[in-house]
Amino acid sequence: MSQTRRTKLELLLICPECGHEFTWTGDDFEDWIKCEKCGNQDEAWFFWHSLNPPAIVNDGFVKYELFSLGDHYTNDAPQLSPIRFVEQLLGRYSGPVHGGGPYLWIYRMWFPQPDNPNNGHIEYKVVMHEGLSGYAPWGDTLVPVQDSQVIKDRFEKIVKSLIVGVKAVRSLPKPKNLYP
């Protein structure tokens, strides 16, 4: 029995403005989302997101959860199986995608060994994929941004979102049955 591809994903979304977390179910990351707490509105992929329950990746030694915030994050994710979705979050997916731009990922890591002094300790590894875009659309092409204020504003927005995301992910409960 092969697993059918999802047409809908249940995602845990975290508002990049206020850190409010809520479950969203949809089939298109371009769906318009409004945070019920602070009123921030944007497309779904501009919210921190993870599979709900969070995607757990086992890297042999460490298990970790993945959260992502993207700029025009690939719209194909809802068509993927959970495994392929995780591959995409890890940048290992080679299937069809569209869009691009800076992605921010937070890994919340768990150390399972009972004799490990880090057992129960959480570390965060933050990855910025493709970096901060220095380009802006101009007609049908991209041109370098010449205005340093624009780049500064972009950077500050990403930093703010990152801080909100780290704080929100830190406060999330440990997933059940992570180490049965």
Residues that bind Zn ion (CB under 5 A): 15, 17-18, 20, 35, 37-38, 40
Closer residue to Zn ion (CB): 35 or 55:
35
Closer residue to Zn ion (CB): 86 or 164:
164
Shortest Å distance, C-beta 168 to Zn ion: 10
Q: What are phi and psi of 173, to 5 degrees?
A: -70, 155
One-letter amino acid identity for 29?
F
Shortest Å distance, C-beta 41 to Zn ion: 9
Closest to 62 (Cα-Cα) out of 100, 109, 126: 109
Closer residue to Zn ion (CB): 15 or 104:
15
Closer residue to Zn ion (CB): 88 or 161:
161
For 51-66, letters b (16+ CB in 10 Å) and e give bbebbbbeeeebbbbb
Q: What are phi and psi of 98, to 5 degrees?
A: -145, 160
Shortest Å distance, C-beta 112 to Zn ion: 33
Shortest Å distance, C-beta 18 to Zn ion: 3
> What is the spatial distance between Cα 77 and Cα 62, in angstroms, rounded to a whole number?
25
- The answer to whether 108 and 176 are in contact (CB under 8 A) is no
Shortest Å distance, C-beta 170 to Zn ion: 17
> What is the spatial distance between Cα 71 and Cα 91, in angstroms, rounded to a whole number?
15
Closer residue to Zn ion (CB): 31 or 123:
31
| DSSP code of residue 159 | H
